[in-house]
């Protein structure tokens, strides 16, 4: 299977003030991401509040994003759900509309505690779109599925024909690298932590990744890879350190899903507020976050519309 090179963005879901999905900003959103060096989108995942969307809303979002897909801009659809039948249908729909690939994280309920349980979950979902690459989204902080990923690769190898790899959003660069080395690098290991792109390049040989802060800081994050490829390690380190400064700020404002989504408004693309049960920023918190971002020079380096 084709391996992804460069950074894929995990977009936020735009909402109207009444909480309904708003498809109107997506054309401008896609254009902005392309302009700032992103190579595609992984929609309806954690950044997109996927588990707070109805299946019909998820389909409508996929149908809208697919309009802006091209050879240099992939659309991957997160289809994970607590209902495996719903996930399989979402996978079928993604294939029907022409998505490049699909992915799923382990469900938050029921908690998956064994590799074999996870393999069965993956196998059933991936079978809904056998012609599309399937990526497992490893983010145990969200679902408690703290399972060994090399063991997962061993279990799916030869059993799930369209298993393409893992979006690895966890802290172990060691395990990430062991997965990358498995079976002579058979599977595509997409790095999923924006704060450690440079270490993944240096140790893990990463080629591609899926990010959340890429929504508004993609220019800096893609610059890390560009500088690394040119051999300019000092510049790559500076871009990585700046990316961490931005992450330090959003961590004080309820993280990327809440604080990061409000940053989109500050750079000129208002995507609305988050759905319940997320606690949205107050106006005072937004102003304070803006001041902190100004203090580190963010608005001179962030994504451009």
Distances (CA, A) of 14 to 20, 74, 130: 9, 19, 30
Q: Please name which of 258, 275, 257, 254 lies closest in space to residue 18, comparing C-alpha atoms.
A: 275
Instruction: Specify whether 34 is catalytic.
Output: no
Provide the 3-class DSSP secondary structure of residue 192. Answer: coil
Residue tagged active-site, from 135, 136, 137, 253: 137
The closest alpha carbon to 42, from 136, 175, 142, 177, belongs to: 136
Catalytic residue of the set 39, 59, 167, 261: 167
137 as an active site residue: the answer is yes
Q: Where are the alpha helices (DSSP H) in the chain?
A: 26-35, 55-65, 84-97, 115-126, 140-143, 149-156, 173-181, 197-204, 214-230, 233-251, 255, 261-266, 283-295
Report d(CA 200, CA 287) in Å as an integer.
34
Q: What is the CA radius of gyration of the chain?
A: 18
Rounded Cα gap, residues 238 and 254, in angstroms: 25
Show which residues are catalytic: 137, 167
């Amino acid at each position: 299977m084709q391996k992804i090179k460069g950074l894929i963005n995990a977009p936020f879901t735009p909402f109207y003030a009444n909480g309904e999905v708003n498809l109107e900003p997506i054309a401008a959103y896609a254009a902005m991401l392309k302009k700032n060096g992103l190579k595609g989108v992984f929609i309806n995942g954690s950044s997109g509040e996927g588990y707070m969307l109805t299946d019909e809303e998820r389909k409508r979002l996929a149908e809208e994003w697919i309009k802006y897909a091209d050879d240099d801009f992939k659309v991957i659809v997160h289809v994970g759900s607590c209902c495996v039948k719903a996930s399989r249908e979402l996978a079928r729909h993604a294939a029907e509309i022409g998505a490049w690939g699909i992915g799923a994280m382990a469900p938050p309920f029921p908690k998956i505690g064994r590799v074999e349980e996870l393999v069965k979950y993956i196998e059933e979902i991936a079978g809904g779109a056998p012609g599309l690459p399937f990526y497992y989204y490893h983010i145990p902080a969200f679902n408690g599925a703290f399972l060994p990923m090399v063991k997962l690769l061993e279990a799916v190898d030869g059993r799930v024909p369209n298993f393409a790899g893992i979006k690895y959003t966890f802290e172990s660069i060691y395990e990430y690298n062991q997965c990358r080395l498995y079976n002579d690098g058979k599977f595509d290991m997409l790095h999923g932590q924006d704060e450690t792109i440079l270490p993944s390049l240096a140790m893990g040989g990463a080629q591609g990744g899926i990010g959340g802060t890429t929504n508004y800081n993609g220019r800096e994050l893609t610059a890390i890879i560009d500088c690394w490829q040119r051999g300019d390690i000092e510049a790559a380190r500076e871009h990585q350190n700046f990316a961490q400064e931005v992450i330090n700020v959003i961590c004080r404002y309820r993280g990327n899903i809440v604080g990061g989504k409000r940053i989109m408004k500050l750079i000129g693309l208002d995507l609305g507020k988050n759905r319940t049960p997320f606690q949205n920023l107050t106006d005072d918190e937004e102003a304070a976050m803006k001041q902190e971002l100004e203090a580190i020079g963010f608005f001179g380096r962030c994504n451009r519309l």
